[in-house]
């Protein structure tokens, strides 16, 4: 996902925490590598540091163009899922 590339350009390395959840180095309180206090949720488009409470919306970090592209890709992904799930199963046609 290119939005992660953009975020890591600005915030450094990250860990994958779970579904759409990533841990980044907090630009406010980071003490070095491996201390990924800043939780980023790509589904909610928010970031939140559990240590210093630095939080906000990803649009404050990323450009509007980047956010728009990301949202477009989410919509495309959702549409693809719908198309797959509404596909007529093979056994119906035979």
Q: Which CB, 47 or 70, lies closer to Zn ion?
A: 47
Question: Residue 70: how many CB atoms within 10 A of its CB?
Answer: 19
- Ranges of H-type helices in 22-89: 64-85
Which CA distances in Å does 89 have to 36, 77, 85, 93, 94? 45, 21, 9, 8, 10
Q: Which range in 12-20, 31-39, 56-64, 68-76 contacts Zn ion by CB under 5 A?
A: 31-39
Site residue total, Zn ion (CB under 5 A): 8
The least CB distance from residue 81 to Zn ion, in Å, is 35
Question: In this chain, which of 1, 13, 16, 28 binds Zn ion, going by CB under 5 A?
Answer: 28
Q: What sign for the dihedral angle of Cα 6, 60, 54, 19?
A: negative
Where in 43-72 is the site for Zn ion (CB under 5 A)?
Answer: 49, 51-52, 54
Asked if residue 29 binds Zn ion (CB under 5 A), the reply is yes
- Grouping H, G, I as helix, E, B as strand and the rest as coil, residue 13 is coil
Residue ranges in contact with Zn ion by CB under 5 A: 26, 28-29, 37, 49, 51-52, 54
């Amino acid at each position: 996902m290119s939005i992660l590339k953009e975020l890591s350009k600005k915030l450094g390395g990250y860990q994958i925490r779970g579904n759409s959840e990533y841990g980044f180095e907090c630009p406010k309180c980071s003490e070095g590598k491996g201390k990924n206090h800043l939780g980023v949720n790509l589904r909610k488009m928010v970031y939140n540091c559990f240590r210093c409470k630095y939080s906000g919306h990803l649009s404050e970090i990323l450009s509007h163009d980047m956010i728009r592209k990301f949202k477009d890709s989410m919509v495309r992904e959702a549409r693809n899922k719908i198309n797959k799930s509404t596909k007529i199963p093979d056994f119906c046609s035979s």
